């Protein structure tokens, strides 16, 4: 198989498998949550109250998909929309007290799943892989800068590196 074809095929397979594994982990843990919804929740837990557009910018998703994700999270009482007092046309998204009570368990499930997927891959290899992924994105969208995004929105998690 041509190397370029393997890259395309393998990225697609790994992406789909990773989403399925994480979804299954949440389901087995008693939470109806998709990996995409988790990323929205994790962003809100880390950054605080945000507009839908800010969430879209941080997670690099289009605003329409964020609206659908927030609809699902709101129906499960994980988040709530409140009008922005400075701009009534804009919704602010904030986590609910309920979601704060389940935050640690959801994060534990997510990270244990990811750590299981990453296995014994050395951190330096993972850092190189992240750099390659950022370069792939930049090749597709010259305005994209995933590494700058990571610096702008660093995780508050203690991940030893």
pLDDT at 49: 96
Main-chain dihedrals φ then ψ at residue 121, nearest 5 degrees: -65, 125
Write the burial class of residue 113 (CB in 10 Å: 0-12 exposed, 13-18 middle, 19+ buried): buried
pLDDT at 88: 84
pLDDT by residue, tens only, the chain of 161 residues: 799 899 999 999 999 999 999 999 999 999 999 999 999 999 999 999 999 999 999 998 998 999 999 999 999 999 999 998 888 888 999 999 999 999 999 999 999 999 999 999 999 999 899 889 999 999 998 988 888 877 776 655 444 44
Q: How far apart are CA 49 and CA 55, in angstroms?
A: 10
Q: How far apart are CA 19 and CA 33, in angstroms?
A: 11
Are the C-beta atoms of residues 35 and 106 closer than 8 Å to each other?
no
pLDDT at 161: 44
């Amino acid at each position: 198989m041509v190397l370029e074809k393997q890259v395309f095929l393998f990225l697609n397979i790994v992406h789909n498998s990773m989403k399925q594994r994480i979804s299954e982990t949440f389901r087995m843990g008693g939470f109806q949550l998709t990996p995409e919804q988790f990323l929205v929740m994790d962003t809100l837990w880390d950054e605080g109250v945000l507009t839908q557009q800010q969430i879209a910018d941080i997670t690099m998703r289009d605003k329409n998909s964020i609206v659908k994700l927030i609809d699902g999270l709101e129906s499960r009482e994980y988040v709530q929309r409140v009008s922005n007092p400075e701009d009534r046309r804009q919704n602010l998204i904030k986590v609910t007290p309920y979601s704060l009570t389940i935050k640690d368990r959801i994060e534990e499930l997510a990270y244990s799943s990811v750590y299981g997927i990453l296995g014994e891959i050395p951190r330096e290899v993972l850092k190189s892989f992240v750099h390659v992924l950022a370069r792939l994105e930049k090749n597709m969208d010259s305005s994209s800068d995933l590494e700058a995004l990571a610096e702008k929105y660093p995780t508050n998690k203690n991940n030893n590196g």
